Amino acid sequence: MLFLTNGASSVASLHFASHAHELLITVTGELSVPEILAVIRTHYPQLRCQAVLWDLEQAGMPALDLAEMRQISQEARRCLPPTLHPRIAYVCSEQTYNSIMCIYAALATIAENPAEYSVFREKAAARAWFASPEGSTPSPYVLKNPTK
């Protein structure tokens, strides 16, 4: 959910797969902030599952500034159903992208988003986290709002 554009036009391809327990968002190419916000506005309000997996393995991500991260975080907080506290995982194999996603996850947690966030290198690890008991931390990057 954390990507940035350098002003160039976006060339992203998005695929959504909704299952009983998971919403999978697969991204190929580079997203713009307006596209990220559109995904959040379209899919988060109708979310009924406890897991959202953003597959960013094929996504290109230029630098994202803090104002844009805050904007995305605030929109996610506004759009998530108030009674739902999902786990949101970002899967990216590049270390740089993992670091960017960790910064976003920390910012979203500070903003008191009702979700628990984590960053992984593989989808299997993210899905194992989804299946684990609440409060478990199989990833060193799990961030959870302590007021939840």
Domain ranges for the chain: 13-144
C-alpha–C-alpha distance, residues 116 and 131, integer Å: 13
Calculate mean pLDDT across residues 9-28: 87
User: Helix 66-79 and helix 95-110: axis angle, to 10°?
Assistant: 60
Query: Looking at residue 1, what is its pLDDT?
Result: 40
Q: Token pair 């506290």 is at which residue?
A: 85
pLDDT digits (tens, 9 = 90+) for 95-139: 888 888 889 998 998 888 889 999 999 999 999 999 988 766 555
CA dist 50 and 66 (Å) reads: 27
pLDDT at 2: 40
HSE, side-chain direction, 13 A CA sphere, residue 84 = 19
Contact partners, residue 21, CB within 8 Å, separation at least 6:
49, 50, 51, 130
Tens digits of per-residue pLDDT, 25-81?
999 998 778 888 999 999 999 998 999 999 999 987 766 788 999 999 999 999 999
Burial class (CB in 10 A: 0-12, 13-18, 19+), 119: buried
CATH 1.10.3720.10, applies to 13-144: no
Any long-range contacts for 128-134 (C-beta under 8 Å, 24+ apart)? 129/87, 129/89, 130/21, 130/22, 130/50, 130/51, 130/53, 130/87, 130/89
